[in-house]
Amino acid sequence: MYNINAMTNLLQIKTSASVLVKTLSSLGVDSIFGYPGASVLSIYNELSKADTIKHYLVRHEQAAVHAAEGYARASGKTGVVLVTSGPGFTNTITGIANAYADSTPLVILAGDVAGADKKGKIFQSVDIQAIAGSCCKKTFKLNPQDDIAQIIQEAFKEASTGVKGPVVVILPRNILEDEYRNENRASIPAAKISKKDFSVELKEFTNLLNASKRPLILIGGGCIDASAEIEQFVSVLQIPVVSTLMGIGIYPSENNLYLGMIGLNGVEPANEALKQCDLLIALGTAFSDRSTCKNNDFTKNRKVVSINICRNSGMSELNITADVKCFIEQCLENKKLFVPQEKWRMEVDVLKENIIPLEKKSNFLQSSYVLETLSEYTRYYEPVVVTDVGQHQMLTAEFFNFNKPRKFITSGGLGTMGFGLPAAIGAYLAKPENLVLNITGDGSFQMNLQELATCREHHIPVKIIIMNNSYLGMVRQMQEKFYNNCYQVEMTNPDFTKIAEAYDLFAVRVRTKEELIPALEKAIRHQSTAIVDIVIDSFENI
């Protein structure tokens, strides 16, 4: 038990908690997403004095991580999360695993019980390192002899270099509240990407490309910082482009050379081009089972060149371990070595023209129609679009045109329902000048709808588009296809407009095509959070 005199003395000395906050500020942190508890109150006390950092109180720790992910994905910076010990930390695990799967740079500051207290059964004590070890890039545990400033700098460097990802820093309460005595430690130098000479790899790549008749570029999420270089490279060589889900927007969707997303839920032009290509140039992708359609013979009829910051599996003819941006820059410096692919480009143009979309007959509003309309209506705004997971996610990938990176934010590797709303909050705080849309399903929305309170408190003007089919649509579709039944996926939903009313937020329901545009207009013009609850066909498949 802490007495009043001890706490008064604590407020008067320079503590590790105060150094932590100053270090965060020096690293450029301006936003922290968190939820307080006893183990981290010393940090919250210091945050209350910080002019450069704003803390956003979420309503659940999982949402704090998703909000930090949205912030990081929209801004390109490292997102920061602050939670307390025990359940405060364990509630973050789904978010941390999601960030790990999608290589999103985060630093999770996890309070812990006092180190000296870890004997016997201790209130809110869990083994954070053991729990986090399998789903984060690295953990750091602050010990009494460590310099907290140095640990935090190392954590940020780890999160944001190489294959990016979440890093957990474990902060025992007693050390946070102790006097800081390590003032002469050296700071960690900023990470630099050295310009490696790829002349050997470039020669092999050139030979493969020039020998190819039907090359195809596949863009993955690891290309996020190389969009300008890739666009220039494609322009020079006239090679058609496809993408993974995480690669959407890195190359302009409206460019004639872009064919769409490949894979299990990909579009026909992209998958057909993938079938026909004889050389696949894979940039910043890890060949997930969704991209390869779980096909063990993925490389059977084509050669594959993989250019990625970490080495891929053995399916590639040529594996180039490199930062995509650096390698493409060297390709551009030697662009005279490459032969443009005009003939194949013309064949792909014909391929696109011959694809006839299937006409869907229904008496109900179709999500495909809704998303196509929404894309066209918001085109002028160039919105940041954050989705949840399910049918609406795949249809958004198909029907929206994303012409810039960091405009499409989704949960790819883990497929986490409930990601969308908190991630949209973080995306807006990173890019407040942008219209931010959260496209979600009725199932996903209910996973984290408590974050409407966060929206209300901080006046976050995200526009929430609920594709309400009263089912877990993707699961229902798979059950019908593979198991000949539809069991435990029908949703008895609340009235979402009344939930919005309870949070003092604007909401409108849409049931017909005629109601859609007026509802979107009202929502977008509304100055704060707005919900558009769109009742769609319960049995639409994608």
- 3-state DSSP call for residue 137? coil
Q: How many secondary structure helices (H) and strands (E) does the chain include?
A: 22, 18
Residues β-bridged to residue 57:
34
Q: What are phi and psi of 434, to 5 degrees?
A: -100, 150
The structure's pTM equals: 0.93
pLDDT at position 339? 85
Q: What are phi and psi of 6, to 5 degrees?
A: -65, -40
- The CA-based angle 190-191-195, given to 5 degrees, is 130
pLDDT grade for 355, boundaries at 50, 70 and 90? low
- Measured from the Cβ of residue 515, the count of other Cβ atoms closer than 10 Å reads 16
Q: What is the 3-state secondary structure (H, E, C) of 301-333?
A: CCEEEEEECCCCCCCCCEEEECCHHHHHHHHHH
pLDDT, mean over the chain:
91
* Token pair in block for residue 336: 């005279």
DSSP code of residue 345 = H
Euclidean distance between CA atoms 219 and 216, whole angstroms: 10
pLDDT grade for 41, boundaries at 50, 70 and 90? very high
Residues β-bridged to residue 536:
none
Taking phi first (over 0 means left), then psi (-120 to 50 degrees means alpha), and beta for anything else, what does residue 459 get?
left
Answer for the pair 179, 42: CB distance below 8 angstroms, yes or no.
Answer: no
DSSP code of residue 409 = E
- Measured from the Cβ of residue 2, the count of other Cβ atoms closer than 10 Å reads 10
pLDDT at position 484? 85
Euclidean distance between CA atoms 535 and 251, whole angstroms: 33
Convert the pLDDT of each residue in 114-156 to its tens digit.
875 556 678 888 999 999 999 999 999 999 999 999 999 999 9
Convert the pLDDT of each residue in 78-126 to its tens digit.
999 999 999 999 999 999 999 999 999 999 999 999 875 556 678 888 9
Sign of the C-alpha dihedral, residues 136, 142, 146, 147?
A: positive
pLDDT at position 179? 92
* Token pair in block for residue 531: 């919900």
pLDDT at position 174? 94
pLDDT grade for 60, boundaries at 50, 70 and 90? very high
Answer for the pair 23, 155: CB distance below 8 angstroms, yes or no.
Answer: no
How far, in whole angstroms, is CA 527 from its chain's centroid?
A: 26
* Tokens 């025992």 found at: 172
Convert the pLDDT of each residue in 259-302 to its tens digit.
999 988 899 999 999 999 999 999 999 887 767 666 656 667 78
End-to-end CA distance of the chain: 59
Euclidean distance between CA atoms 409 and 67, whole angstroms: 11
Q: Which of 348, 345, 220, 236 is nearest to 290 (CA)?
A: 220
pLDDT of residue 477 exceeding 90, the answer is no
Q: In what order do the strands lie in the sheet with 215-219?
A: 258-261, 241-243, 215-219, 279-283, 303-308, 318-321
Answer for the pair 463, 437: CB distance below 8 angstroms, yes or no.
Answer: yes
* Mean pLDDT on 510-527: 97
Euclidean distance between CA atoms 167 and 158, whole angstroms: 7
pLDDT at position 115? 73
* Mean pLDDT on 396-418: 96
Identity at 39, one-letter amino acid code: S
Answer for the pair 408, 248: CB distance below 8 angstroms, yes or no.
Answer: yes
Instruction: Return the minimum-mean-pLDDT range out of 139-148, 198-207, 248-257, 296-305.
Output: 296-305
pLDDT at position 148? 96
